[in-house]
């Protein structure tokens, strides 16, 4: 089972999330890769930041990159800088349609030398990415569908879209098994105990996206 560090490892809150330092710390602890969030600045730069608003209340999309660290109170990395620094599995979550073009451009630059998985809660954005770049993509899901077949069949013509990322709150082994039977792999996020991490492995998840690396390999 692959282990991706969710926004990097914060070292007990001493390192800001989605920073080069957080990514490096996660990798020293044994993570296979990094999950991170892509947004775009006012001047069109793809940056790694989760929240729509910066700590001072300013929308990130209204701030130029050169002014971003002042508003965020820490250095916010460019997507290209992170990809150039670390040759690991990268799960790039596109947070907003405005970030799709910049992410596609980065994927075209790095797709042959990096292991990339592009995901989003905006499935229309995933359709845009698959139409523009040869990269593996995944669907973020935060609900338990009544039936899964229609959701999967909608992507039959897109063979690069074969990953689902489920919220642990809504997933179960039957759902993961059904997805696997249709050729889809599943990742799970939102686990908060060692037992929940072990369940993901027992259920056959391809990987977890976790804030708790210590719970994956408890001492």
Has 25 been annotated as catalytic?
Answer: no
* 197 within 8 A of 207, measured Cβ to Cβ: no
Tokens encoding 84: 């150039």
Question: CA-CA distance, 36 to 23, in Å (whole number)?
Answer: 9
Has 197 been annotated as catalytic?
Answer: no
From 6, 25, 49, 71, the catalytic residue? 6
**DSSP tag of 76:** P
Tokens encoding 75: 């250095």
From 25, 49, 50, 178, the catalytic residue? 50
* 170 within 8 A of 146, measured Cβ to Cβ: no
- Measured in degrees and rounded to the nearest 5, phi and psi for residue 109 equal -75, -35
118-121 long-range contacts (CB < 8 A, ≥24 apart) are 118/92, 118/93, 118/94, 119/91, 119/92, 119/93, 119/94, 119/163, 119/165, 120/93, 120/94, 120/95
Tokens 């039959």 correspond to 156
Residue closest to 144 by CA, chosen among 181, 190, 100: 190
* 111 within 8 A of 134, measured Cβ to Cβ: yes
Active site residues: 6, 50
């Amino acid at each position: 089972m692959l282990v991706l560090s969710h926004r990097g490892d914060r070292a007990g809150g001493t390192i800001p999330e989605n920073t080069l330092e957080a990514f490096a710390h996660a990798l020293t602890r044994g993570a296979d890769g990094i999950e991170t969030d892509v947004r775009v600045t006012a001047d069109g730069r793809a940056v790694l930041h989760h929240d729509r608003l910066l700590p001072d209340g300013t929308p990130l999309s209204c701030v130029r990159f050169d002014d971003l660290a002042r508003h965020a109170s820490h250095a916010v990395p460019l997507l290209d800088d992170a990809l150039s620094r670390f040759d690991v599995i990268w799960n790039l979550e596109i947070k907003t349609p405005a970030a799709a073009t910049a992410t596609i451009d980065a994927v075209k630059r790095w797709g042959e030398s990096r292991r990339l998985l592009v995901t989003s809660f905006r499935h229309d954005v995933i359709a845009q990415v698959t139409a523009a770049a040869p990269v593996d993509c995944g669907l973020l899901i935060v609900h338990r569908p009544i039936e899964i077949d229609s959701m999967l069949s909608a992507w039959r013509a897109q063979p690069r879209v074969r990953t689902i990322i489920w919220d642990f709150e809504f997933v179960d082994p039957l759902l993961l098994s059904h997805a696997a039977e249709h050729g889809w792999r599943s990742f799970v996020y939102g686990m908060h105990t060692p037992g929940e991490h072990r369940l993901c492995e027992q259920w056959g998840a391809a990987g977890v996206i976790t804030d708790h690396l210590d719970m994956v390999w408890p001492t």
